[in-house]
Amino acid sequence: MNTSARKRTTALPAWLLQGVTISYILLIVLFAIAAAINPNYASWANIRNLLQIGAFIGVIAVGQTMVIITGQIDLSVPWNLTFSAILMATLISHGYGTTTAITAALISGTLVGIFNSIGTAIFRIHSLVWTLGVNALMQGATLVYTHAQPPKVDVPPLVRALGSGELYGIPVPLMVWIVAGAAALVVLHRTRFGRYLYAIGNNESALFLSGVDSRKVYLGAFAMSGFCAALAGIMLTGYSSQTYLGMGSDYLLIPIAAVIIGGTNIMGGSGGYLGSISGALIVVLLQSVLSTMQIQEAGKDIVFGSIIIVLLLLYGRQKLSNH
Amino acid sequence: MAELSVAGTSSDTPALEARGIRKQFAGTVALEDADFSCRRGEVHVLLGANGAGKSTLVKILCGVQPPDEGTIHLDGEEVTMTDPIRAAELGVAAVFQELSLCPHLTVAENIMLAHEPTGPVGQIRSRQLRRRVSDLFEQVGIDHIKPDILVARLTLADQQLVEIAKALSHEPRTLIVDEGTSALGREEVRRLFDLLGRLRSQGTAIIFISHRMAEVREIADRLTVFRNGTNVGTVDAADMDEGYLVELMLGERIEKSFPERAPRPSSADEPLLDVTHLGAGDLLDDISFQLRAGEVLGVAGLEGQGQGDLLLALFGMVRRLSGEIRVRGERVRMGSPWKAIRAGFAFIPEDRKTQGLLQPQSLRENIVLASLGALTRHGLIDRSRERRTAESGMQRMQIKAASMELPVAALSGGNQQKVVIAKWLETGGDIFLFYDPTRGVDVGTKRAFYELIGELARDGKAVLLYSTELSELVGLCHRVMVMNDRRVVETLADNAITENAILAASLGVRERQVPEADAPTTQTAGGAS
């Protein structure tokens, strides 16, 4: 039926149309352009800086990739992140130990993730709506809890190190990203849970009829996303040496954009974290290039939006060649 | 058997007449040289086994689908029906089994949908709309439904009546009701028949499709039987002989080739599956049977008599079961597919595309999907074992594919079906539940299926086969349970399994006997629940 579409796409080799490949090609091209404009771009100091910032997006994208592979989305990241970070700061200001505070923040983030999965998997409310509501709920909770005034606190060295530290010349956030990223790749491609994430995104009823409790799979994905949001919140607290109410607001759409640019299907079922890595780097690189070119916020948004649209059109062709 | 007396030919032109209709869908011929005519002021019942072409005919008569060949005449004039709206303008309206109402609009808004009375700037005149609907209700005798109520708040039966009222709002001269009673209880059927009776006396031609013989007996003026896409006979209701009709629906036996059956296990063997007094709310009622290793047990019946629910219940998809299910003598608790799988059940769903397979994913991933637990070591999937499992599954089922990494979407229907079964062989399942597996499947795939079922039985697996195709049950099963109204009404074995016997048991008539002999319940009045 769609032989005409098939003919057009087979003009290009199939691997070239894979989302992952496209995103890495785009990353290299972007980097080459940036370096051509300003040779400083290729300096280790600059690359280091990009990787450090990319780490925050990359960590959030670990959870978001898993959720998006199931065909859902987690919109509760910004205020889940903020709430967890402020919870940690408050505990520290009350004299609790750093490890206790960090653990509490991670548990809080994970619990919010579990709450997200309850709405999605048990009440069957689309995550687009449910997690948006949870985000608002967390925002309200944070404001009530802090009287709109996050605690002023001396950020302890461990947290500071997680956000901006350096070990053997390598930024600690980058190390965290590498560990989280490697774990994500293993989970997605080598474990049962990972396999079920893809299966649920392709055909939930087939998975259910194969004897897998799909609710647990959703639970795992959303819990992972909540955990990652909290982890990013802790890292960001260390990075900026403080907690503040708007700290999560940049971390909703940008990690989602990174996941999609990396070739993960927004409808679920295909993609992976390898793409999300290049997606995160592309996003950071673009932002950095656009601001050094002194393009204003509005201009940035236009470039950003156009890239996403073009990539989605490209990935759409890849879809056609599959059927 | 094919030459039949066409009863009661009359001189006046029929209200609706179809001549030489042919319709083909992707290789299968649904209708071939089909004639049909219906008179003004009669209820004309269409009968036929599944796939006989009734529904296709109805769709052509009301403009949903165009015929490939043939003509349609209304009051003697040839017409072309391009779409249902045109058909409604010409005076033909249809009510289908699937409801087409918008739940969040009111009854009145639904009935007048797309032909609302409007004012000068296109605004809908609500008061006039409501008045028209109450007039319509009064005229057809619906007095218990308020036009202002939301359709979502009505019972299924009342929604069905609204659906019919919607068709009547076009003031059709021909009304088609396709299985309009399957959702209705006895009281509601009575109300519908009163309504049809009034329409009949007003001169409307009514074409009625039903599988319930008792209803047909009650409402029909004439009956037409379809078989294999063509009209095989029309009779007056007065001359109706149900045993004869059953034969007419089946026709001469078309010899289909089925693979040789495995020998039936001896009834002295311990049963693999032992079900006693299984019940489930209003889905199943007191069902008991035993199934042995190597046995193929069929489940038959008219549509929606509980056959599908029985299989779903056994696979843990139905809640609140009563009764007992034993596998190898041990009682098993149901309630979820994973528990059922652990007990040894395997479920082959009706639609492999939407329920059985991950279409874009590889053969390998599909084959191991239900048995990943056994392939996992220290939390990780053992890839070489996974590949070996997939390979042995492909060999066992003789799946022809260039590579196990191909997406299953690229395989033929028959091979896809084999993938579903390969998946279950890996879980060690030994009770295979087939949920109407050959519906809408091409001949080659069907044939492959028959062989698979035979092989499973020979391998000592037990098979429970729910099928809507009678010949299949006859050709494959050692025993057949016939269900009617949530219960097993008859179990046929060996040579007693014939299409006639199954259909007769399904319809609740004895073979070749007069209807009165076994129909005490249908004639009792006022037995409403």
Question: pLDDT (tens digit, 9 = 90+) per residue, B41-75?
Answer: 999 999 887 667 888 898 899 888 889 999 999 98
Residues of A in contact with B387 (CB under 8 A): none
Task: Classify residue B524: in a domain, yes or no.
Answer: no
| Together in a domain, B50 and B129 | yes
- Cα separation, B504 vs B182, whole angstroms: 19
Region A162-177: what's the mean pLDDT?
93
B413's enclosing H/E stretch is helix B413-426
In a domain, B274, yes or no: yes
Q: Give pTM, 2 decimals.
A: 0.75
As given in the structure block, the two tokens for residue B415 are: 């091979």
Beta carbons of A212 and B380 less than 8 Å apart? no
Query: What Rg do the C-alpha atoms of chain B give, in angstroms?
Result: 26
Closest-CA distance, B10 to chain A, in angstroms, reads 48
Give A116: exposed, middle or buried? Use CB within 10 Å, 0-12, 13-18, 19+: buried
> What is the pLDDT averaged over residues B400-410?
87
CATH number at residue B323: 3.40.50.300
Q: Which chain B residues in 308-367 lie under 8 Å from chain A, judged by CB atoms?
A: 315, 336-338, 340-342, 347, 349, 354-361, 365
pLDDT (0 to 100) of residue A251? 93
Among the listed ranges A9-18, B135-144, B332-341, which one has the minimum average pLDDT value?
A: A9-18
**B53 with B131, same domain?**
yes
Edge-to-edge strands, sheet with B69-74: B28-38, B16-25, B69-74, B77-79
CB-CB under 8 Å, A206 with B357: yes
pLDDT of residue B528: 38
Residues B446 and B423 in one domain: no
- pLDDT higher than threshold 80 for residue B345: yes
* Cα A101 to the center of its chain, rounded Å: 23
A3-322 has CATH 3.40.1000 classification = no
Task: Identify the residue whose tokens are 């129909």.
Answer: B519
Instruction: Determine which of B103-112, B326-335, B442-451 has the lowest per-residue pLDDT on average.
Output: B442-451
Q: Which of B407, B428, B449 is the last residue of a domain?
A: B428
Which B positions 418-437 lie with beta carbon below 8 A of chain A? 423, 427
Secondary structure element (H or E) that encloses residue A217, with its range:
helix A214-240
Query: Is the domain of B240 the same as that of B158?
Result: yes
pLDDT averaged over every residue in chain A = 89
pLDDT at A215: 95
Same domain, B460 and B316: yes
Please tell me whether residues B424 and B450 are part of one structural domain. no
Domain end marker among B194, B212, B247: B247
Q: Which residue has the tokens 């004039």?
A: B77
Q: Are residues B358 and B297 in the same domain?
A: no
pLDDT class of A155 with cuts at 50, 70, 90 = very high
B528 lies within 8 A of chain A by CB:
no
pLDDT of residue B440: 61
Residues of A with CB under 8 A from a CB of B: 186, 190-192, 195, 198-199, 202-203, 205-213, 269-270, 322-323
Suggest the residue from A186, A210, A213, A265 to mutate for an interface test with chain B (most B CBs closer than 10 A). Answer: A210
Q: Is B369 inside a domain boundary?
A: yes
Same domain, B338 and B243: no
pLDDT tens profile A56-103? 999 999 999 999 999 999 999 999 999 999 999 999 999 999 999 999
Closest-CA distance, A301 to chain B, in angstroms, reads: 34
- Nearest-by-CA chain A residue for B355: A206
If asked whether residues B365 and B332 sit together in one domain, one would say: no
Question: Under DSSP, is residue B423 helix (H, G, I), strand (E, B) or coil?
Answer: helix
Helices (H), A41-97: 44-69, 77-93
The alpha carbon of residue B52 is apart from the nearest alpha carbon of chain A, in Å, by: 28
Q: Which residues of B touch A6 (CB under 8 A)?
A: none
Please state the domain count of chain B. 3
What per-residue confidence (pLDDT) applies to B441? 64
**Residue to substitute from B312, B315, B361, B426, interface A, most A β-carbons within 10 A:** B361
Contact A73, A128 (CB under 8 A): yes
In this model, does residue B4 exceed pLDDT 50? no
Determine phi and psi for B464, rounding to 5 degrees.
Answer: -110, 115
3-class secondary structure per residue, B254-312 = CCCCCCCCCCCCCCCCCCCEEEEEEEECCCEEEEEEEECCCCEEEEECCCCCCHHHHHH
Percent of chain B with pLDDT over 70: 89
* Residue B287, helix vs strand vs coil: strand
Answer yes or no: is B10 within a domain: no
Q: If you average pLDDT over every residue of chain B, what do you get?
A: 83
Question: Do A209 and B423 count as a contact with CB atoms less than 8 A apart?
Answer: no
What residues make up the domain containing B384?
Answer: 351-428
Residues B56 and B117 in one domain: yes
Which tokens sit at A297? 């916020």
Is residue B520 one of the residues assigned to a domain?
no
Q: Which two tokens stand for residue A53?
A: 């910032």
Task: Report the residue of B336, B380, B382 to disrupt the A interface, i.e. the one with the largest count of A CBs within 10 Å.
Answer: B380
Domain ranges for chain A, please list them: 3-322
Q: Of A266-270, B267-271, B322-326, B345-349, which range is least confident?
A: B267-271
How does pLDDT run across B236-253, given as a tens digit for each residue?
A: 888 877 777 877 887 754
| Closest to B510 (Cα-Cα) out of B244, B288, B253 | B244
Q: Which of A188, A209, A212 should one mutate to test binding to chain B, selecting the residue with the greatest count of B CBs within 10 A?
A: A209
User: Which of residues B213, B247, B281 is at a domain's end?
Assistant: B247
Band (A52; pLDDT cuts 50, 70, 90): very high
Co-location of B150 and B294 in the same domain:
no
Write down the number of H helices and E strands in chain B.
17, 22
